[in-house]
Amino acid sequence: MSRLVVVSNRVPLPDENGNPPPGGLAVAVHAALRESGGIWMGWSGKTTGEEEPTGLTTLEHGKISYVLTDLTQADLDEYYNGFANRVLWPIFHCRLDLAEYARQEMAGYFRVNRLFAERLVPMLEPDDVIWVHDYHLIPLAAELRKRGVKNRIGFFLHIPWPPADILTALPVYEIIMRDLAEYDLAGFQTDYDLDNFVGCLRREKWGDRTDKNTVHAFGHDFAAGAYPIGIETAEFARLAEKAGEASMVGEMEQSLNGSALMIGVDRLDYSKGISHRIDAFERYLTRNPEMAGKLTLLQVAPHSRSDVKEYLDMQAQVEAHCGRVNGAHGTIDWVPIRYVNQSLTRPVLSGLYRLAKVGLVTPLRDGMNLVAKEYIASQDPEDPGVLVLSRFAGAARELDGAVFINPYDTDQTAAAIGRALEMPLDERMARWRRMMDHLLKNDVGHWCRSFLDDLSEAPLHHAAT
């Protein structure tokens, strides 16, 4: 069996016993690494005061080596905060209005990818299978190829791939497309993302599909497919079942004083549509004044990427929206929106999901949205809640028992809240069962295995000669 080498911007480090941190991706990828042995490489999360990146730390746990590289402050500003999160993230989420392209940041992005390649090459063995994750590292395969690496290299994009009309606004569009074609397998969250990617190749006459999962572009064949990421479904269901034991969940239930709970859980990111959701909740309250005091929205929203201006702006905007609704609709004994920036643990989250009659997942665009899946996995089979889901989340391609909304249509989302709250038990059970069966079958272990199986069979355009 070949060794697996995983490369991602963040590395989920295990505890002192070698157990992975909670989180589906970390657990599934660790399981694959434990089986084959290998390396997980990425940013250490630290910046050095030096001008050149210095520190490279290796931690060994059983058959897995964690290789962590420090970055300089300039690297972090230009690669992560700059090009990755102020150019690629907004453009890939169709927010051209928020993209701030600067050549210096673009150069920093490619420089850090070169650094990762330089540091990885001496550790590689000829049979290693390399799996690169996400938009921070698109050029990595090209950098490895330039250094003579002929191994199988797969790439998985966790965020959406936009249509050609959007992506062509990216000044280095062609380089990004060519770099992606250096992988042996390019994996996307949904068939829509895959179609958009192929559409970009077609638009410029750079290539096209040759069959369902093969693309010919820039002179060679490579595999491309949709691999919707899953969660640890059974583990979430187990956590939720015993979640009443978590004191925070019990306290929450008591404090609701009989009012029904709706829940939203999102990193504070403009792609998540939190302000739109709050507006829709307000519209619902305005249209249903008899619900005053009978319905509470818990919005869990940990801070994210707070060094990026657009994130700070949206944080202020969400706070203002919550304050406005609470001021206008709240009473001395009822606050319509409970807004917390604290990050909650999985046992607590699973209990809160189960307590909530409605899960509100309303992103303007989202690669997948694991919260939607976790909400379903946490429900009581005898009395499940209802998922209100944006059609623009990757999860909408799978969770066909949700009540779908267009988050730009405030009236529709407000009406969906009413429909979810009033849905009869038999309909709730039938919708939930369909989605839960799908999630049990297509969990994160399935995702990991499908990707790695297909990578091991992908056409090798860089085969050793």
Dihedral sign from CA coordinates of 68, 45, 95, 108: negative
- Distance between CA 76 and CA 58 in Å, rounded? 20
- Distance between CA 176 and CA 183 in Å, rounded? 12
For residue 257, what are the CA distances in angstroms to 193, 241, 285?
44, 22, 18
Is residue 321 part of the annotated active site? The answer reads: no
Catalytic pick among 61, 158, 276, 462: 158
- Distance between CA 198 and CA 217 in Å, rounded? 9
Residue 343 near which of ligand L263DTV3, ligand UDP, none (CB within 5-8 Å, type-dependent)? ligand UDP
Shortest approach of ligand L263DTV3 to residue 101 CB, angstroms? Answer: 19
Q: Identify the burial level of 255 via C-beta atoms within 10 angstroms of its C-beta, where 0-12 means exposed, 13-18 middle and 19 or more buried.
A: exposed
User: 324, 285 in Cβ contact below 8 A?
Assistant: no
Residue 416 near which of ligand UDP, ligand L263DTV3, none (CB within 5-8 Å, type-dependent)? none
User: 61, 14 in Cβ contact below 8 A?
Assistant: yes
Is residue 366 part of the annotated active site? The answer reads: yes
**Contact pattern from residue 212 through residue 231 relative to ligand L263DTV3, giving x for each residue in contact according to CB under 6 A and a dash for the rest:** -----------------x--
- Footprint on this chain of ligand UDP (rule: CB under 6 A): 265, 267, 300, 302, 343-344, 346, 349, 368-371, 374
Residue 10 near which of ligand L263DTV3, ligand UDP, none (CB within 5-8 Å, type-dependent)? ligand L263DTV3
**Measured CA angle at 444 (ends 167, 345), to 5 deg:** 95
- Distance between CA 332 and CA 351 in Å, rounded? 27
Quick one: CA torsion of 7, 11, 14, 19, rounded to 10 degrees?
-60
The amino acid present at 31, given as its one-letter code, is: A
Q: Which is nearer to ligand UDP, 82 or 367 (CB)?
A: 367
Residue 305 near which of ligand L263DTV3, ligand UDP, none (CB within 5-8 Å, type-dependent)? ligand L263DTV3
Work out whether 134 is an interface residue with ligand L263DTV3 (CB under 6 A).
yes
Residues forming a β-bridge with 260: 295
Q: Which is nearer to ligand L263DTV3, 53 or 160 (CB)?
A: 160
Catalytic pick among 184, 193, 366, 454: 366
Q: Which is nearer to ligand UDP, 40 or 375 (CB)?
A: 375
Residue 223 near which of ligand UDP, ligand L263DTV3, none (CB within 5-8 Å, type-dependent)? none
Contacts to ligand L263DTV3 from residues 313-372, by CB under 6 A = 366-370
Q: Which is nearer to ligand UDP, 133 or 346 (CB)?
A: 346
Residues that bind ligand L263DTV3 in the complex, under the rule CB under 6 A: 10, 134, 158-159, 229, 304-305, 366-370
Residues with a known catalytic role: 158, 366
